[in-house]
Structure 1
Amino acid sequence: MEQPMTLSPPATGGLLTPRVRTRRKALYAIKQAAIVLAVLAIIAWFALSVRAGLARNGIAFDMGFLKQAAGFDISEGLVVVSDGIRAFQSNDSNADALLAGFVNTLKVASLAIVLSTILGVLLGMGRVAHNWLVRQLSFGVVELLRNTPMLIQLVFWYFAVVLKLPLLDNAVRWYGGLIASRQGIFLPGLAIAPDASAAAAWALIGGCVLLAGAAALRKFRWRLLAAGLAAVAISFALGFPLVRTVPMVKGFVVQDGLSLSPEFVALLLGLTVYTAAFIAEIVRGAILALARGQWEASAALGMSRRTTYRDVVVPQVFRVVLPAFGNQYISLAKTSSLGIAIGYPDLFNVYGTVANQSGRSLEGVIVVMLAYLVLSWSISACVNLLNRRIVAKGGVK
């Protein structure tokens, strides 16, 4: 007996009607809004609970301490005032003190990111080099740095290296004006010329901003580049406002030039070499992940190993390692708070002094957490922007 034939609904090929798509988008938006509201509700509940706990103990949550005079000095730090930039003073506010500490953190973190990237890439390439000595030396350096706590390395760089340099009167003087002593490292620098005009200074600043925009933006790159070069040329025509200064030892002090404190140098060295070890392993893993056939094809085409690295390996490796680099950069920025161990006046160190002076440890730590959060988000945004540009171009050229 034949079975009755049943009719199946026509296949839609996976296509959704406009009504279904709209419904799904609405459900997705509702879910996202519900998650955001739940997170905000948890934060609000926590804040109200903390406030109620403080009120029971007669403590009010007040951010007015930021306007109070700090009452202490910072070994190095700058503040912005109405007539320019000057060194931090004890009669400045706590907000100025925290800002000066944040600038110190930003200064050491940005330099360490650049130097650790260069050193880490070199060590990573050395780990896969054909030369046995280079490969073993790179392996030893990376393993030593990776398996030693950062705090111990920081103490080593400060007490066993920087503070063992000669005194200022017997300091090592290198070609070009560099002076290395236990009082700090002094480098040739740039300063505003005494007879510089305001127009030349503003033209130079505008030219630098335009050139930076040309490097970051692709749409108006050539226009920004031309405008930036024109602004720099105008600055030269009006009298270039910058002059080169060379550090000169006069008694127990060094005048002119760029000075780096011992604490800054030790923290910079510690952050650089420690992060470079992890970056080296990221680079090594990315290089070894490349198909061996690409090396063989490059050799068959007569390409040298240097050319292979430049034209074949690096464009592919950086597309893979850049997100991992971003994680290391964020970790470096947060690890800079260990500078308190050697007395570097970074944000966390200054916060400790402010909290002790004002008694507002909770309010202060909230400010510090937000500052580190902004710093981490900024690093992540820069890395993501660079990653999108590299992916869009198909690699590093």
Structure 2
Amino acid sequence: MPTRAGRPAGWRAAGFRATLYQLLVVLVLVGLAAGMTETARRAMQERGIASGFDFLLDRAGFAIGHAFFAFSPENTYLQAFVVGLGNTLVVAAAGLVTASLLGTVLGLSRLSGNWLLARAAGLYVELFRNTPQLVQIVFWYALFTLLPGPRQAWSLGDLVFFSNRGLILPWPAEPWVLGLALLLLVPGATLAAGFLRWSDRRRRAGGRVPAPLALSAVLALAPAVLGWIAAGAPAGWSVPALRGFNFAGGLALSPEFLALYFGLSFYIAAFVAEIVRAGILSVGRGQIEAAQAVGLPRSELYRRIVFPQALRVVVPPLAAQYISLVKNSSLGVAIGYPDLFSVTNTVLTLSGNTIEAIAIMAAVYLTLALAIGAVADLVNRAVRIRER
């Protein structure tokens, strides 16, 4: 029966029926997935194949050669997954930062009026973009393993050592304080960005803020410095030194880590360079000429006009490259880097819980990719043009 407004009753409305049909489809899919899972569980149980996630609390019984977190064979499979995830996050985070910075420099260099600089950047892009990433990773690994041994290591002021055992660096004696300071850079960057927006509004209103860039840098670093002071302001360093056939102290970055780091960073940087170049070229030439006509300095031209508009074009494809970098960190299995993929292979071999181990690994990679996509979506919403 029609309603007072002449519309059909709620259960006959098109919107209600569409929602109902979608709900039914979801229920059917969930039922099918549950039925398939139960069938697989029974089949595995009949054949004596282990199933379930109870194995996560069992003793692992294997060692992880290169780990940024403490691990021993006495730890559990769950802790092994955590260590593998930590190794993946460290190499991925380092790769993301390097690829972003290097790619931005290369993208700007390709637009430079300097012929040699532009051609060199173009050669880099063509070389690294058009060769398989796995080949690049294996190349770097072979190169690092051919370096001299620890006793003949290349040294930089007896503080930094480079050999076939990897790169050995001085490191804070209390690394957790460094981690805290790095985390506090996030709220510092948020404060600095807010201050810059406020200073811009004040300038447009006719006011004046002295040295806004310097003050924003102070705000960006202030939380990290305060956190360091609150932790007791530790200033001790662990300096590497040769002991027998290897180095003791400091931070050791293995050849496997370095090869994967260079392979991921340099490969993705080539794509980032093209994304940055395309974003800058998308800005109307008339806006740039108008800014130059009123005498806007080159630094202000890029900060206020070019980069804000280029970000709207850059963010979506850049997020796709970041996700690709995180997923491609699994290529480290080819050179023995104990990332999440490699650790999962060991766990499923020793535990026999193949499906569960692979499901955990897939869920972790999916979560990381969705997290990057969510952050990119927030940035995209922040820089988009708002309709009036």
Q: How does 1:5-154 map to 2 (within 5 A)?
A: 26-27=16-17, 29-77=19-67, 87-154=70-137
The Cα shift of 1:323 comes to 1.8
* Aligned partner of residue 138 in structure 2, secondary structure: helix
* Aligned partner of residue 167 in structure 2, secondary structure: strand
CA distance in 1, matches of 2:180, 2:334: 40
Amino acid across the alignment from 2:241: M
CA distance in 2, matches of 1:231, 1:60: 48
CA distance in 1, matches of 2:346, 2:274: 38
The superposition leaves residues 341-370 of structure 1 with CA deviations (integer Å, 9 ceiling, x where unpaired) of 111000111111112212222221111111
Q: Which runs of 5+ in 1 are unaligned?
A: 1-14, 80-86, 194-200
* Aligned partner of residue 72 in structure 1, secondary structure: coil
Residue 322 (structure 2) aligns with: 329
TM-score, normalisation: structure 1:
0.79
Amino acid across the alignment from 1:109: A
CA distance in 1, matches of 2:385, 2:333: 42
Distance 1:210 1:336, change over 3 A: closer
Amino acid across the alignment from 1:266: A
Residue 377 (str. 1) matches residue 360 (str. 2): no
The Cα shift of 1:242 comes to 4.6
* Aligned partner of residue 268 in structure 1, secondary structure: helix
The Cα shift of 1:207 comes to 7.7
CA distance in 2, matches of 1:344, 1:98: 14
The Cα shift of 1:384 comes to 2.3
Amino acid across the alignment from 2:55: F
Q: How does 1:240-279 map to 2 (within 5 A)?
A: 240-279=233-272
C-alpha RMSD of matched pairs (Å): 3.6
Q: Which runs of 5+ in 2 are unaligned?
A: 199-217
* Aligned partner of residue 247 in structure 2, secondary structure: strand
The answer to which of 151-160 and 121-130 deviates more is: 121-130
Distance 1:252 1:127, change over 3 A: same
Residue 178 (str. 1) matches residue 160 (str. 2): yes
The superposition leaves residues 14-33 of structure 1 with CA deviations (integer Å, 9 ceiling, x where unpaired) of x998988x956645543553
The Cα shift of 1:119 comes to 0.9
Assess if the C-alpha contact under 8 Å between 1:78 and 1:88 holds in 2.
no
* Aligned partner of residue 329 in structure 1, secondary structure: helix
Larger Rg: 1
TM-score, normalisation: structure 2:
0.80
Residue 157 (str. 1) matches residue 148 (str. 2): no
* Aligned partner of residue 172 in structure 2, secondary structure: strand
Residue 191 (structure 1) aligns with: 173
Distance 1:233 1:366, change over 3 A: closer
CA distance in 2, matches of 1:18, 1:183: 75
* Aligned partner of residue 317 in structure 1, secondary structure: helix
CA distance in 2, matches of 1:271, 1:33: 42
Amino acid across the alignment from 1:71: G
Distance 1:16 1:278, change over 3 A: farther
What is the number of residues matched between the two proteins?
360
Assess if the C-alpha contact under 8 Å between 2:129 and 2:270 holds in 1.
yes
The superposition leaves residues 160-194 of structure 1 with CA deviations (integer Å, 9 ceiling, x where unpaired) of 2x12323222222225832222211122221229x
* Aligned partner of residue 89 in structure 2, secondary structure: helix
Assess if the C-alpha contact under 8 Å between 1:151 and 1:338 holds in 2.
yes
Amino acid across the alignment from 2:151: D
The Cα shift of 1:261 comes to 1.0
Amino acid across the alignment from 2:316: P
